[in-house]
Structure 1
Amino acid sequence: MNTLKVKQSKWILTEEGTDPEIIRQNETLFALSNGHFGTRGSLEEINSPSKYSNSEATLVNAFYDSEPIEYGEWAYGYAKEHQTIIPVPNGKKITLKLDHEIFDLEAGKTTKHKRELDLKKGILKRTFTWENTQGHKIDVEIIRFVSYDHKELLAQKITVTPYNDNNELEIITELDDLKELGSRKKDTSKDPRVKEQGERRFHSERFKKDSVDLLHIETNHTKCHLIVGEKDKLKGFKSPIYNKNNSEKFIVKTKKGKPVVLERLVAYSNMFDEEDKQEEIAQKTATILNETSVLGFENLLEKHIKHMEKFWNMSDIEIEGNDELQVGLRFNLFHLHQAAGRDGKRNMSAKGLTGEGYEGHYFWDTEMYMLSFFLYTQPEIAKQLLTYRYTILEEARNRARIMSIDEGALFAWRTINGKEASPYYPAGTAQIHINGDIAHAIYTYIKVTGDKHFGMNEGLEILVETARFYANWGHYDEKREGAFVLNNVTGPDEYTAIVNNNYYTNLMAKHNFKYAIEMVEATLESNEERGKDVLERINFKHPELENWKNAQKKMFLPYDEEQGLTMQDDSFFHKEVWDLKHTPKEKFPLLLHYHPLTIYRYQVNKQADTILAQFIFSHAFSHDQKVRDYNYYESVTTHDSSLSRSVFGMMASELGFMQKAYTYFMDTALMDLSDLQSNTRDGVHAANMGGTWMSMVYGFGGLRLIGDRLNFNPRLPKEWQAVTFKVTFRGRIIKVSIKKEKTEYKLIEGEPLVINHFNEERQLK
């Protein structure tokens, strides 16, 4: 926190001063979004020097362009095209002039400069006093929020209060269509996690509809369309005197102490693919802007705050004993809520909508790190995230065929449109565990919500197709007494690639078979015609069921009897151990400083792998086994991935290593606020944020779903006095209050149910 000079209360992050480094860093932290679009927390002034910004990007979820991937040597089946989320017109830009002098942080004299991100209300407020070279002063307040009630809407209110009479005040708004994108500062780090965008990736045309200025943009190659519109209102003054090219100029003569208030609304329409829809979408966008302009900023803000109140009422986690962690935790939950696609057509990218890192791609992060938060607090959003996977199932089938698998589906490792976009297959396509990750998420969703309709339709089809893939990828190895093996795969640990029998992958595949078997048998035994129709449509055959049962039973799970350790894969223990202790700090992360083949030759982990498998299915392993494996794999793990610390922290909590659990949680909860990974500028670490919620509820709360029952094994760090959170389960809301002397469970809503507290049954009424 100190490196960023950010102060906070339990709800508000505060930035003070005009240090360019701090303002640049907080562009990511102060980003606002709603799952449909997001805008980074950059400054509003049009002519702000570039040293105050890394990227001012506004991003629409899944609005992307493509271009061919250029390989030095191509091979069959390689991903063909980049899919890159692209910045769209920036609706934040304004120019302030006082007596013809333009405001920016390096003109005149700026004092009392402060920005506050109010997590509770979901708003960003900026205040400052500016004095021009003639000694005339103004106070400025700018409030912005991204609406949840009107998902297309970015709302701003600019209030300028003069110190003097009869100064000429100009406020100019502009819908920046990014023609100067090519002049942005280049990223010279060669970080493979970032793709530099040096040119505008769309063309645009301006037009009017129902007196609203609109901008139609179309991507160069993917032909995605978007309508962006703007509506400004200067309260108490006449219309703008100038209107051209989506910029408006308001000029007023100041009266000392009388505020000049401009309300600005910018709308980002739903994305569309067919040009003949332009008229329809333009009309909808204009209507939204006209109606919300009449409603007014304050009414829109009131509705927005009520949405945030409802969100926090269900999703907040309270910690007694550490205010820094409290705001860090809320910051993570706030950004998780902002990031999720809510229409079943779009997912959550690794950076949410806060930056261009990872090109806006969706990974396994959603299902294994972020979904749990929504599943237990906002299950309707969890369903939409899983529904997205169903919309790309046909592309997953196509990918399986490319991989010479005649039946089944293989989901893309990183994607927007469903096609594989990872050009480096050893750490991309080879991670076939993504199928099991998605299957596990679907099965857990069905168990937690009781949503049989989804289970017998989309869920059933995905479970069958992912099981089919594993059945065809693997084979029975006679040299291992007929065990079912999965060769040439990469597990979650991307520092160990293209191996045989990665433990995590094999265990996830084993459970994928289990889930598919259970759902198919339930379908065949029931009177549910929906499920039977699905099986008939995808040509399910009964012998498949027997094959899955056999593969599940005979799944090979490597184990070293001599050491008493679970083997990460067949070859891991045959490698030399990387000397982490004597590796210079500046050589981390290893992926930026060592050739992949150098890393692959050693026992060294980028992130939790075997430990993640044991966390997910912890009830299937003995305590002693988990302790041995934890101690061993912790010693060879760099945590170069942001996904790692939360898993080690949760397992530490389960095993009773409370100081370790607390330390890992500190790093997890404050990762972006402290810039622990040194790349927060590219966007937040959304999966880690999901890991923060999991660390609280799964880790310290000890929540596990075993069978059809919630199990709690709470453990409180000595640094805290209490932790309180809520979870939903099959239409019920349960409040959990963990204190040093006892844990209380209260049924807030729904029918009575039985839970387990340290294996002791408790009836909640």
Structure 2
Amino acid sequence: MHPLISKDSKWVLQEDGTSKETIVQNETLFALSNGHFGTRGSLEETSRTPDYSYSESTLVNAFYDSEPIEYGEWAYGYAKNHQTIIPVPNGKKLTLTLDGETFDLETGSTTDHKRMLDLEKAVLTRTFTWTNTQDKSVDVKIERFVSYDYPELLVQKVWVTPHEDGSELELTAELDDLKEMGQTKGHQDSHDPRKKVLKERRFDSTDLESEEHTLMHITPHSTDLNLIVGATNALSDASAAYHRDGNTETWKVETRKSQTVSLERWVAYGFIFTDESEKEEQSRQVDDLLSKVKEEGYDSVKEKHLDYMKTFWSTSDIQIDGDDTLQTGLRFNLFHLHQAAGRDGLTNMSAKGLTGEGYEGHYFWDTEMYMLPFFIYTQPEIAKQLLRYRYSILPQARERAREMAIDNGALFAWRTINGEEASPYYPAGTAQIHINADIAHAVHTYLQATDDTEFGMNEGLEILIETARFYETYGHYDELRDGAFVLNEVTGPDEYTAIVNNNFYTNLLAKHNLNYAIEWVEKALDEKNEDGQAVLEKVAFEKAELDAWKKAADKMFLPYDEKQQLTMQDDSFFHKKVWDFDNTPEENYPLLLNYHPLTIYGHQVNKQADTVLAQFLFSTEFSQEQKERDYNYYEAITTHDSSLSRSVFGMMASDIGDLEKAYDYFMDTALMDITNMQGNTNDGVHTANMGGTWMSIVYGFGGLRMANGTLHFSPKLPKQWNKLSFTIQFKGRTLQVTIKPEGSEYTLLEGEPLEINHFGEKKVIQ
């Protein structure tokens, strides 16, 4: 059992002791967030002992700074500006002083030090006993959670119980505005392209007037974003001497043996606004919120939070009987996945969630292809909001298409926060035009699973039209291929193979994107849906486009090697030399950090699943024999240097009937961050892998597929488990699936009777 996994509960990660290395390692794992903001699991006194922290950042989703990208050689259409999520004022900073000595893990003696992350409650608890150099002791308990009921709110409470009478206890709470930028030292001097160095504070701050709270207005150096941050506190001992100095509040009390003193603390990170004239109104809202929750009290706010988490787990928990470590690890992944999702229709999910600054807080295709399925089938309202973010950046996507000389349609940015392309390396960025089809596929999956016609005939329809238009314009008919429709100079999911013709994944997804658009445009025309008609008019749709899309979809070129009977990743892939895996030392992985891109591009070597992912997504379109041949070939040349890879190979292993291999891959994905398998968990959790873990259970072992609006299951239970159970939402129903060695059970927990397909046999669940 991993040392973090509690022996007493399948819901708890527990850290014991004061090991500097362990505390730093767990800073990411113990992060708390709610989609609006997140704060890493650093210690309250980290500013005194910075070696106990890698990056104690608090991050607000989509609150970023920007600066021009500097190119040695520039070309037209290159991404113009960096977009980098920036740490905001630290609301966790608390100081405890006893008879003039200030607590930290290097002063006096700290015993019984424990930190526990309760996944069920989403509460981080820290307990310890501290004895100062004068042999005076206190017991300390600190709780921390991020509210879902009040998405702006970080909530903390400290209990201090003295062992002796007559000492002077001093508690200080500070809203640290980061004048000394020490939050990103873990990134300094890094050549890892997944990181960006922040060498200085990237925002300006102004203190605002408030009768009883701390309020601060902050603005990044180079964007027009604004944020109000506020804090308020309440001490249990009314007789305490109190002093306030700017953003710092201090209380002094004389200790009484065994009489606990508690401090409740609320920190509010307001919602982003772009017009500074709104500052007064936004400040008032934060001020009012702080007054409200202070009056409401810690216990009441916490109780609401616990009720929310109970509801979340009732629809999202997965239960495994037979492996307690895996059970906790799986819940850890679902917990962080849930924390990461933007919920306002204007923000999304970054590759690291809000747990770290890796990838600069950018949104990728990860959301749609790896994370969104979890939300579609457990929390469809959040799934809709994530898709609405993509709709909100359609204007920027249209402009990007024009920059790419495409006069019709839209091209979504490969990596972005504000909708504009922020990837400076176009071969592994802009060239990944499959992102359009990834988003379209997510829209179509959501619509099939929810029957949300209102969204489909509004935002969904517009996205499908504009993405289809792009592909039809970008591609062309190749007479040397008997008039097949081709997509040249693209990069597929495998970033170790760049700028190729006819990447199989891209072409197959584009084909389906075109068909999705045809389906929903015809639905809008046939049903004379008012919303749909308005969208068609808005985008100046012409019926001739339907014929163009149908022709492109029908003639889409999908490369295949008849001689080897293998699906070709692209036109040139099989003409390259296979990478010399036998003579590549272990320390040279990941390859991207140790070999020039051209060296990698010239070989048959995959960073992650590509063709295998395409066949997984549309598995019914391929024979089992074909999938197995392709799986074996591509698995042998895949490094899994990307965290997105293993879950796909595991799910396809389930599909082709290799349950042992599926289980091994699943074990890697389920515990990836807890074991730091990729070696970079310090920069944030791997949210796409976490989504892949859920998919591995539901799509892999559960065998879930959706075809023509019907759920199909082909369940398989690994021999290591006694039982597997999960719950999904589908078209207003709640369905529980239980898989046992002797068979599977389907239970309708809520909603109208539902027809499903079990191993090809129709069943009505009621």
TM over 0.5: yes
Corresponding residue SS for 2:87: coil
Q: C-alpha distance in 2, partners of 1:753/1:58?
A: 44
1:191-270 equivalent positions in 2, closer than 5 A? 191-238=192-239, 241-270=242-271
Give the Å deviation of 1:51.
Answer: 1.2
Match of 1:641 in 2: 642
Equivalent AA in structure 2 for residue 491 of structure 1 = G
Corresponding residue SS for 1:242: strand
Corresponding residue SS for 1:200: coil
1:123 and 2:142 equivalent? no
Q: C-alpha distance in 1, partners of 2:471/2:59?
A: 36
8 Å Cα contact 1:315-1:725 kept in structure 2: yes
Q: C-alpha distance in 2, partners of 1:141/1:570?
A: 62
Match of 1:658 in 2: 659
Equivalent AA in structure 2 for residue 222 of structure 1 = T
Q: C-alpha distance in 2, partners of 1:747/1:218?
A: 50
Q: C-alpha distance in 2, partners of 1:635/1:248?
A: 60
Corresponding residue SS for 1:63: strand
Structure 2 gaps of 5+ residues are: none
Give the Å deviation of 1:721.
Answer: 0.5
8 Å Cα contact 1:48-1:105 kept in structure 2: no
Equivalent AA in structure 2 for residue 662 of structure 1 = Y
Give the Å deviation of 1:238.
Answer: 4.1
Q: Deviations over 1:29-71 (max 9, x none)?
A: 0000000000000000154312100000000000000000000
Corresponding residue SS for 1:310: helix
Q: C-alpha distance in 1, partners of 2:383/2:328?
A: 24
Q: C-alpha distance in 2, partners of 1:667/1:8?
A: 23
Structure 1 residues 100 and 64: CA distance shift in structure 2, 3 A: same
Give the Å deviation of 1:527.
Answer: 2.5
Q: Deviations over 1:270-293 (max 9, x none)?
A: 011111000000000010000000
Q: Deviations over 1:646-677 (max 9, x none)?
A: 00000001111111100000000000000000
Q: C-alpha distance in 2, partners of 1:184/1:446?
A: 41
Equivalent AA in structure 2 for residue 51 of structure 1 = D
Match of 2:613 in 1: 612
8 Å Cα contact 1:351-1:360 kept in structure 2: yes
8 Å Cα contact 1:4-1:25 kept in structure 2: no
Give the Å deviation of 1:6.
Answer: 7.6
Match of 2:38 in 1: 38
Q: C-alpha distance in 2, partners of 1:355/1:201?
A: 16
8 Å Cα contact 2:46-2:52 kept in structure 1: no
Structure 1 residues 3 and 579: CA distance shift in structure 2, 3 A: farther
Match of 1:395 in 2: 396
Match of 1:623 in 2: 624
Match of 2:754 in 1: 753
Q: C-alpha distance in 1, partners of 2:304/2:271?
A: 21
8 Å Cα contact 1:143-1:158 kept in structure 2: yes
Equivalent AA in structure 2 for residue 9 of structure 1 = S
Match of 2:697 in 1: 696
Give the Å deviation of 1:182.
Answer: 5.3
Give the Å deviation of 1:245.
Answer: 1.6
Q: Deviations over 1:528-558 (max 9, x none)?
A: 1110111111111111110100000000000
Q: C-alpha distance in 1, partners of 2:265/2:122?
A: 17
Q: C-alpha distance in 2, partners of 1:303/1:632?
A: 52
1:48-447 equivalent positions in 2, closer than 5 A? 48-181=48-181, 185=185, 186-238=187-239, 241-447=242-448
Q: C-alpha distance in 1, partners of 2:739/2:95?
A: 51
Corresponding residue SS for 1:74: coil
8 Å Cα contact 1:6-1:16 kept in structure 2: no
8 Å Cα contact 2:55-2:183 kept in structure 1: no
Q: C-alpha distance in 1, partners of 2:364/2:489?
A: 20
Equivalent AA in structure 2 for residue 105 of structure 1 = L
- RMSD over equivalenced CA pairs, Å: 1.1
Q: C-alpha distance in 2, partners of 1:37/1:378?
A: 19
Give the Å deviation of 1:7.
Answer: 6.5
Equivalent AA in structure 1 for residue 143 of structure 2 = I
1:587 and 2:588 equivalent? yes
Give the Å deviation of 1:211.
Answer: 2.3
Corresponding residue SS for 1:373: helix
Equivalent AA in structure 1 for residue 728 of structure 2 = V
Give the Å deviation of 1:179.
Answer: 0.7
Match of 2:479 in 1: 478
Corresponding residue SS for 1:156: strand
8 Å Cα contact 1:411-1:434 kept in structure 2: yes
Q: Deviations over 1:174-207 (max 9, x none)?
A: 1010111158535333100010111011110112
Corresponding residue SS for 2:244: strand
Q: C-alpha distance in 1, partners of 2:590/2:219?
A: 38
Match of 1:599 in 2: 600
Q: C-alpha distance in 1, partners of 2:550/2:204?
A: 54
Q: Deviations over 1:573-601 (max 9, x none)?
A: 00000022321000000000000000000
8 Å Cα contact 2:206-2:218 kept in structure 1: yes
Match of 2:723 in 1: 722
TM-score, normalised by the number of residues in structure 2: 0.99
Match of 1:25 in 2: 25
Q: C-alpha distance in 2, partners of 1:701/1:669?
A: 16
Corresponding residue SS for 2:307: helix
Q: Deviations over 1:312-343 (max 9, x none)?
A: 00000000000010000000000011000000
Corresponding residue SS for 1:160: strand
Structure 1 gaps of 5+ residues are: none
Structure 1 residues 195 and 6: CA distance shift in structure 2, 3 A: farther
- Number of aligned residue pairs: give it: 765
Equivalent AA in structure 2 for residue 82 of structure 1 = H
Q: Deviations over 1:487-521 (max 9, x none)?
A: 00000000000000000000000000100000011
Corresponding residue SS for 1:214: strand
TM-score, normalised by the number of residues in structure 1: 0.99
Percent pairwise identity: 65
8 Å Cα contact 2:57-2:183 kept in structure 1: no
Match of 2:449 in 1: 448
